Structure 1
Amino acid sequence: MLSRRSHRLFFLLLTVFLLITAGALAQDDTTEIKVMSHPVHESAVIGGAGAEVDLSPDLVEATGISLVWETQPWPDILERTVRELALADSDISLMFLISQQYSPQVRNQLMPLNDFLESDPIENFDGIAEGMLSFVSDSEGNIYGIPMRAYGPVLFYNTALLEEAGIAEPPSTWEEYIADATAIAGRRDDGARIYGMRFEPSSVILGARAYGGGLLSGDFDILFTEEPMIQAINEAAELYAEGVIPPDFMNLVADDWLTLEQNGQVAFAVRGPTYYSNLNDPEASQVVGQIGVTTVPASETVDFDLAPGNASFWSMSIPANSADPEAAWEVIKFLSSDMAATEMARNGNAPTKLSVYEDPEFAEVNAAWVDAAAQSLLVAKPDWPAFDEQSRASDIFEEQVVLAITGQKSAEEAMADAAELIAPLLPTNE
């Protein structure tokens, strides 16, 4: 017979065995799928790098699915996803793609998500801005991606510079914006140059949109030879001639502009709203407490209030060669839920759902910019529609814009030359 001590030892070992077995069975019930993304998406979901929340346990509990992340830095992720999509078979089930990747060629390598949306819909799907969904859809209404990370740009303004110029309120029309920027530009008492606005060659696209125009239509018709773009370029040429924008604006990159803004040398800047923290960083910025945020106003000549800003965004897509499309959809649906979108926003993700902006805690923490960002998100869209030669077309366009702004060509001549060079690159002319 077993002694009492042996009985206790037997039951202890039995308990340990049962716990191990239960754990193994639980693991067996969990489906693993591989996800390809940029590292920011992994951080948004599992936390890390200062992020607060790990959604992995909630995902497993809700769906029985765990994620194996295969991340690539920028711009390597662009080439890596293209190679993976071209394979006959892949062990990747889910991909995160940036808006510029949704060309007709890439869409042909992705699964349309309409059947999933109809049979197993996403919570509050209508809360995702139509402007973003249109860029991940084709002309027949097939949707190839669910936006997950995006911001509509807002207009930052230096309250101290406005006050010194006698300007009481931020601009409410595009015309006021140009006039205010022109009035503020000049030199400080210490000799430092003050610029009226952050400006890059692509900024004329926002100007054209403010006047009701644009770059290309959704069907790739050329719009940039029309009057709104000509007006925006001529306006920029005047700003250049008057010193409202830097003489070397075409060479300045984003970090150069951020330094100027932090030094108090820029009155207005169109940026993603989370740059509010950079401009109020006491260790890097001289303008802490002097930054206001508003929306980018449209021209008084049009029948809408906000100029649609440029919004590059990331979406979740299922490759046509996906290893497990059904599991991938379960993950997309979970990460698109109001709860997950809000928690990812606390991890620093830029939310695509309006419900996140309405969350009381999120709104309180980001009170300085949340209203402007939510309004901008409704109208924001990428500058360029996705097509295979988009990068080359963008370079051509910006080169011609610089020639016009610096007086080497008229705006009309520059845009006509751009149209001649870009037209053969568009999908309708391939």
Structure 2
Amino acid sequence: MTHHWTRRQALQSALGGAAALAAGPLWAAGSTLNILCHRVHQTSLTTGPAGDLTAPWRNSANAECVWTSFDTNPLQDRLFREASLEKTDFGVGFVVNSRATPAAASLLAPLDAFQAKAPIEDFADIAPGLVSAMRFGGKLAAVPFRHATQALFYNEALLEERGIKAPPTSLEELVDQAKQLSFRSAAGTPVVGMVLASDLAVFPVTFARAFGGDFIGADLALLPDPDAMEKALTTLQDMFKAGALPRSYATTTNDDQVTWLQQGRAAFSVLPFARHTQLNRANQSKYPGRIKAIEFPQSQALKGKSSMASVTEFWAMGIPANAQDKELAWSFIRAMSTKANTVGAARNGNGPVRVSTYNDATFAKDQPFAAIEAKALANARVPLPAFPEAARAQTVFLEEVQLTVIGQKTPKAAVAAIAERVKPLLKA
């Protein structure tokens, strides 16, 4: 049996005088595993074509699951507040990579001893870039569960209209095609080559990685290759000047990217692979079935020398260090991380963190870009590691990128400013 507490129910219970809720859910620990999650985590493990994946574990462990769900930020706040108490009744908490700072990780139980005693099946199959982002001081703090990795989406019909027979195989070819695809289509629609949101670091980081660079490396190295970042900003500025990015770039949002692709107002964009279904939905898109995805291409100079480190965001399962039954919690994490349950959760709508899942016929048959996504996932990394001043660092970074793209600053000056302004934030 499973139970689910929504945020409203939790608040109503608190207002009704359930003092026990301050320390944990209504149900006591013991044969109960209390789980702090986002609703998508519960749904992907309990509802959908693959059914309730927790049932076999609940039967074998003689335990029940109590799910308490919140939206992302309230969930993280509640998790770390609970983990800061003397003890908590929550056994498992889902943590998002952007909040997994060393300080936050110190509130979670190191999992290496559990992994050594009762290992997760084929742990090496879980994408290494996700696992490494959950290691602090060499210790594993959480097990990846759900990811969203970025792809380059393109409108096949618009490419064909301009006589382009295949999507780009290099960054340079992408830029060239984006310029060709800034035109008025046969349907009379003004088309821009590429649409990108200006308020997300994902996009300039993606371009920097295409040149072999980065904003902040996994080891907190700021601008590990300044020349690569300068090339990335030069490329984006050139695309804007050529009309291959929207004139409204400075105010373009993530939702605009989806809408513009669906309406045929843009030929290219960068979005998670999971957006494929939405982009091609017949009741929303003017080009159902014609919007396709590839891995974001590297610069021609790097082809064959290195792999593209696609940008990914992800959730992981951790155990609060003050949890009362860590063995039960690990048993759950271990069971939900098997190959079979990863496939099942994927069929229920989860973004599978195992590379092998994309080769499973029961999942891949409904995923036209499974092989492409698997390749991207294998080398994917988070946009930047979590650290206390990460949000401010991203804001500074985006300010400099926006000024550069619209031509108010040179790429070289912007890179120098990023280095100068972000460096103190890394030390804070």
Counterpart residue type for residue 154 of structure 2: Y
Aligned to 2:139, the other structure's residue is in SS state coil
Partner of 1:337: 338
Deviation of 1:200 after TM superposition, in Å, equals 2.9
Partner of 1:81: 79
CA distance in 2, matches of 1:369, 1:217: 28
Unmatched 5+ stretches in structure 1: 1-27
Listed one character per residue, the Cα deviations across residues 54-88 of structure 1 (whole Å, up to 9, x for unaligned) are 12321212333321111101332232223222222
Partner of 1:270: 270
Retained in 1: the 8 A contact 2:217–2:384? no
Question: Equivalent residues in 2 for 1:8-407 (5 A)?
Answer: 31-47=31-47, 52-138=50-136, 140-189=137-186, 191-201=188-198, 202=201, 203-223=203-223, 226-302=226-302, 303-304=304-305, 306-366=307-367, 368-407=368-407
Retained in 2: the 8 A contact 1:295–1:306? no
Retained in 2: the 8 A contact 1:296–1:306? no
Aligned to 2:193, the other structure's residue is in SS state strand
CA distance in 2, matches of 1:78, 1:255: 24
Retained in 2: the 8 A contact 1:224–1:415? no
Retained in 1: the 8 A contact 2:128–2:378? yes
Retained in 2: the 8 A contact 1:97–1:314? yes
Listed one character per residue, the Cα deviations across residues 223-281 of structure 1 (whole Å, up to 9, x for unaligned) are 16700010100110111111111122232222211111110122122222221111221
Aligned to 2:72, the other structure's residue is in SS state coil
Aligned to 2:309, the other structure's residue is in SS state coil
CA distance in 2, matches of 1:305, 1:194: 33
Retained in 2: the 8 A contact 1:30–1:66? no
Deviation of 1:306 after TM superposition, in Å, equals 4.5
With the length of structure 2 as denominator, give the TM-score of the two structures: 0.89
CA distance in 2, matches of 1:304, 1:311: 22
CA distance in 2, matches of 1:177, 1:212: 16
Counterpart residue type for residue 390 of structure 1: A
Retained in 2: the 8 A contact 1:306–1:376? no
CA distance in 1, matches of 2:306, 2:216: 21
Aligned to 2:300, the other structure's residue is in SS state coil
Instruction: Go from structure 1 to structure 2 and tell me whether the alpha carbon gap of 1:143 and 1:242 turns closer, same or farther (over 3 Å shift).
Output: same
CA distance in 2, matches of 1:372, 1:120: 32
CA distance in 2, matches of 1:79, 1:30: 25
Bigger shift: residues 314-323 or 73-82: 73-82
Deviation of 1:398 after TM superposition, in Å, equals 0.2
Deviation of 1:172 after TM superposition, in Å, equals 1.1
CA distance in 2, matches of 1:84, 1:198: 41
CA distance in 2, matches of 1:266, 1:64: 53
CA distance in 1, matches of 2:72, 2:58: 29
Bigger shift: residues 298-307 or 206-215: 298-307
Retained in 2: the 8 A contact 1:224–1:230? no
Retained in 2: the 8 A contact 1:123–1:337? yes
Bigger shift: residues 65-74 or 82-91: 82-91
Retained in 2: the 8 A contact 1:225–1:415? no
Q: Matched residue pairs, number?
A: 397
Larger radius of gyration: 1
Retained in 1: the 8 A contact 2:152–2:295? yes
Listed one character per residue, the Cα deviations across residues 14-42 of structure 1 (whole Å, up to 9, x for unaligned) are xxxxxxxxxxxxxx998101110111001
CA distance in 2, matches of 1:154, 1:220: 25
CA distance in 2, matches of 1:360, 1:272: 22
CA distance in 1, matches of 2:29, 2:128: 37
CA distance in 1, matches of 2:341, 2:60: 11
Query: Identical aligned pairs, as a percentage?
Result: 31
Q: CA RMSD in A?
A: 1.9
CA distance in 1, matches of 2:330, 2:312: 25
